[in-house]
Amino acid sequence: MALPGGMAALALLGGGLLALDRAFPPDLSRLEAVGRVVVDREGRVLSALPAPGGVWRLPVGAAEVPGHLVAMLVAAEDRRFRWHFGVDPLAVMRAAAQWVRAGRVVSGGSTLSMQAARLLEPRPRTLRSKAIEALRAVQLEWRLGKQGVLGAWLTLAPMGGNLEGVRAGSLAWFGRPVERVGVAEAALLVAVPRRPEALRPDRHPEAALAARDAMLRRRGAGALPEWERLAAAAEPVPRTRRAMPGLAPHVSREVARGQAAPVVRTTLDAGLQRGLEALAAEVLRGLPARASAAVVVAELGSREVRALVAGDWLAEGRAGALDLSRAVRSPGSALKPLLYAMAFERGLAGPGTVMEDLPRRFGDWAPENYARGFSGRVTAADALRQSLNLPAVALMDALGPLRFASALKALGAVPRLPPGAPAALPLALGGVGVTLRELAGVTAAIGDGGRAGRLRVRPGPAEAAGPPASAPVLGPRAAEAVAGILVQPFPGGGPEGVGWKTGTSWGGRDAWAVGFDARHVAGVWVGRPDGTAIPGATGRGLALPVLARVFGLLPAAPRPGAVAARVAAGGPAGTVDGLRLLFPPAGAVIGEGSVVIRAAGGQRPLFFLVDGVPVASGAARREAGWTPPGPGFYRVTVLDAAGAAVSAPVRVRGPE
């Protein structure tokens, strides 16, 4: 069926326009060559990253800016924007009539769509350029729609200097996201693009003020009530350009890399990140030349990183551009908690097991303690707390280095060994390469009941780091036993209820401290990025004080039952408040067979444990029956409802 003549002509015209549009598409490269805005978990700006060439061109959509800004823009630049097709015939006729009468250009008749076309493809201000802009405006409306055209203008409008778009302008002139600008600020953002260099508020504040106030007085400017217009006019204009936000520079570049989204979200908390960066800056001022530090804080359950300092970003002498939280270094003794937890899990030892810290050879290797001395017979709990090397190597020998290396991999810390070297006993003392993020993830497993999971800086589903749940890397009972051992006061003071462990690599090249409370895991690394030693550096001396201050920045979250867990693991009991362990007494030697543990005093109910394992008590909750599984050393503990605890080491002798 043939189309009527008029419809056929329209169809032919439409087809021709479509062919021309495809043959000569508008150049949208400037709209695509934009920087990125990196925000925290609540949408607060962390960092702005410039577009190629160092231009602050940050993308923004019309729906992201306040309605009064868009209303003011349309009222000032293109009142009929909502109904024309890219070119406003009435404005063109008015401009032509003014040109004929005055003999010069009085008004250009440009629509917002034509302005967007000019911003995308700048040209000399000639009649030919105007004609091209008109055609491009129609194309932009066809391709992008009204909202897309507004977004192009809002992204590309010049704001003075190397600032483009209202997002960059808002951050530079007001220090706040464009989503939160008020009426007076919106008026300035709409006014400046008319003469961006002449109206820069940092260089020409009086001219900027006059232009802003003229925008506020413009008829129909956002349909402002008079009182709001007067209040806006009373506000001053900024006289300085603010620095672009630059929190978490390493993480910001990490998450923005390869991302097409204009706004990139992270798991970080802007307030905590700001506090951690201030703390790190203070710490760095006290470090030797060329030394640096990295700190990470994450939620224990979700493994979401809440703050991360990966080095001194602006310090070339400290290799500030390197992400030191991902640098592979030797952890020293910081992996010993995992070793002990695995040994407890497999029954190789328990917190109260007596071990020997005495000179011993393992093949051709004779390991020593850091202080060169030996402590003799100690419990496993004390050996871990004191970071003794001989007991740790003995446990590694019994456990097997391959099994330990496999557990590290399952927990997200792929062990880096020297080329061609197998997993061997030195793994117990840090003979492997890990990163700060990985070490914090391993430590999180100790504080989170043995659950594996990698730290992450992007929101989304948790990243599993181990085998399926049917084959856990570490059982909760063993993890809790080690956690209880590690909960102890910071030497120089600090928050209570925090478990921590330090590490020092060979020669003082790396100083570490990792810790956890009931909600968080944190890690600190101090060293030189080039791997050279810091004479006298230790994890306890350099990194641990920083860790204590890190936990001081966090909301208090002491581990539940920290005192009880510490005592059950062989630690000091603290004040006893009348609670007494009647039998067995400390140091008792008892025979095999059933034993009745008796206690008096304290606040009921009482709870009984042997080597951290609960023992069923009688109806009166003053005694409990226990049958030793065999000869050996044990620690008997009684706890009351107020948290007081008493413990006693005992020995069960075997058959004569």
> Would you please indicate which residues are annotated as catalytic (active-site) residues?
77, 333
Contacts with 26 (C-beta within 8 Å, 6 or more apart), sequence order:
117, 120, 121, 136, 139, 140, 143
Greatest pairwise CA separation for the chain in angstroms:
124
β 580-583/354-357 pair status: unpaired
Answer whether 36's CB lies under 8 Å from 263's CB. Answer: yes
β 376-379/354-357 pair status: antiparallel
How many angstroms separate the CA atoms of 306 and 386, rounded? Answer: 30
CA-based nearest residue to 430, from 362, 327, 330: 330
How many angstroms separate the CA atoms of 162 and 208, rounded? Answer: 17
Answer whether 227's CB lies under 8 Å from 195's CB. Answer: no
Answer whether 214's CB lies under 8 Å from 232's CB. Answer: no
Answer whether 493's CB lies under 8 Å from 499's CB. Answer: no
* Tokens 């790396």 -> residue: 510
β 292-299/305-309 pair status: antiparallel
Contacts with 121 (C-beta within 8 Å, 6 or more apart), sequence order:
26, 27, 132, 136
Pair of tokens at residue 560: 């539940």
- For CA atoms 355, 361, 362, 368, give the dihedral sign: positive
Beta bridge partners of 637: 609, 647
How many angstroms separate the CA atoms of 257 and 244, rounded? Answer: 19
* Tokens 């008829």 -> residue: 219
Q: Return contacts of 200-209, CB within 8 angstroms, 24+ apart.
A: 200/160, 200/161, 201/160, 201/173, 201/237, 201/238, 201/239, 202/160, 202/238, 202/239, 202/240, 202/241, 203/160, 205/237, 205/238, 205/239, 208/237, 209/236, 209/237
